[in-house]
Amino acid sequence: MCTMSKDAISLCVKRQEFMDDPGLLQRLYLHHKGFTRIQNLDNFTQVKELFLESNSLTKIENLQNFKHLEVLHLEKNKIEKIENLNCLTNLKYLNLAQNAISKIEELESLTCLETLIISQNEISMTEFVKNLSLIPKLRELDLSMNKINCNPESILCILADCRSLRILSLQGNPFVCNNKMPHYRSLVISHCKKLSQLDGRRICSEERRRCNAWGEVVLNGGTFDEANEADRQELIKIRLERSQKNAERRSSLSQSRLSSSSSSDRSSSIGSTVLESVKRTFGRTSLSEISHSSWSRRNIDIELDNEAEDWENSMKKYKNDVYGWNRVTDNSPRGID
């Protein structure tokens, strides 16, 4: 056990952040220190993330001045009650896993709260989680490994009222493990219309459609057999739509290939026309003498310059040969009389 004294906090800050000015801190790490109380944090109220996990805390206290706090880690402590969090109006992430909490309460004022991790606690009754629907922006909820063993319909109604819920974890509770809720996954997905992940598994669009069809029958008083038949019919419809999309995709692909081949034929005809015009202009004997790279005017000009240079060099050579022959003729002895 250890007291959260000012000296202990300053030592933690110097070791982890290497700074002396507490006003510059954005994160405060006070985890794994064995602290028994939250205290002496008046100089750190500007932080946005506070890590207090893996201590021996028994009560949430002395956090009323943390107006800028967005992330709060309190997991792996000995907390028994959720309290004194009403002033944290900017809080977005709250982790209370592995404590001794038996009721979710006093979170209604946390209007920015998006993630609540409260797994491995002592929550057992549905009435202890009914306040979840009062958290307006709650997107992620982890209630796994608790002791909820109540009527499944009541917990489903509470979860359905959480309009912003996207990620949910309920595994490890008795009502899930003891098969008190047959077709558990289908029921939860059909009730929570915007859910995208359940117990760590993503909910794809096809599963969403099938669960909605299944749940519609159940909610209208149908039997599980009728719901299973509705699920099967929806699966047949999904497969038919998929095959139609594949056929359309193959058709569009073949059309694109035909258009590409016609464009290549058109480009080859244009190229042959260019070659013919170049042949007529420059008097080439065969089209093979003109390479593909000389189609552009620049390359043709370069080729003409090279030909002019070759012609000039040949003329110089001819003149030198003629001049040298005349000189030899002038110096040669005259014929013998």
With CA atoms as reference, report the closest residue to 74 among 44, 22, 24, 119.
119
pLDDT at residue 298 in the model = 54
With CA atoms as reference, report the closest residue to 86 among 65, 61, 107.
107
> Is residue 295 very low, low, confident or very high in pLDDT (cuts 50, 70, 90)?
very low
More confident residue, 255 or 72: 72
Strand partners, 115: 93, 140
> Is residue 287 very low, low, confident or very high in pLDDT (cuts 50, 70, 90)?
very low
Q: What is the mean pLDDT of residues 213-232?
A: 92
pLDDT at residue 301 in the model = 59
DSSP 25-89: -SEEE--SS-B-S----GGGTT-SEEE--SS------S-TT-TT--EEE--SS------S-TT-T
Gyration radius of the chain's alpha carbons: 41
d(CA 138, CA 133): 8
pLDDT at residue 116 in the model = 97
- 140-142 and 93-95 strand pairing: unpaired
User: Tens digits of per-residue pLDDT, 44-79?
Assistant: 999 999 999 999 999 999 999 999 999 999 999 999
pLDDT at residue 187 in the model = 92
Measured in Å, how far apart are the chain's first and last C-alpha atoms?
139
Strands (E) across the chain are located at 27-29, 49-51, 71-73, 93-95, 115-117, 140-142, 167-169, 197-198, 201-202
Neighbours of 143 (CB within 10 A): 24
Neighbours of 140 (CB within 10 A): 17
Q: Is 197 helix (H, G, I), strand (E, B) or coil?
A: strand
With CA atoms as reference, report the closest residue to 9 among 1, 76, 33.
33
DSSP for residue 335: P
DSSP for residue 334: P
pLDDT surpasses 90 at 162: yes
Q: What is the mean pLDDT of residues 315-328?
A: 61
Cβ partners under 8 Å of residue 11, min gap 6: none
- Expressed in percent and rounded to 5, the helix, strand and coil fractions of the chain are 50, 10, 45
Cβ partners under 8 Å of residue 235, min gap 6: 210
With CA atoms as reference, report the closest residue to 106 among 125, 128, 123, 124.
128
